Amino acid sequence: MEPETAAETLPTINIECPKCKNDNAYWWMLQTRSADEATTQFYRCSKCNYTWRNYS
């Protein structure tokens, strides 16, 4: 996903980036495991573009 596309289409959330400590990130969800398990939430820092995930 290109950072320019993220800025135009993805929602944002107030969450701290583990890399640069910025407090704003874009987020999206994907089904990365089997269908009967929870989705995975991805975050991308709006400042440094670092991407990390949270398994729900």
Q: Which of 2, 4, 8, 36 is catalytic?
A: 36
Contacts (Cβ under 8 Å, ≥6 apart) of 40: 29, 30, 31, 32, 33, 53, 54, 55, 56
Active site residue 23: no
Which residues does the annotation mark as catalytic? Answer: 36-37
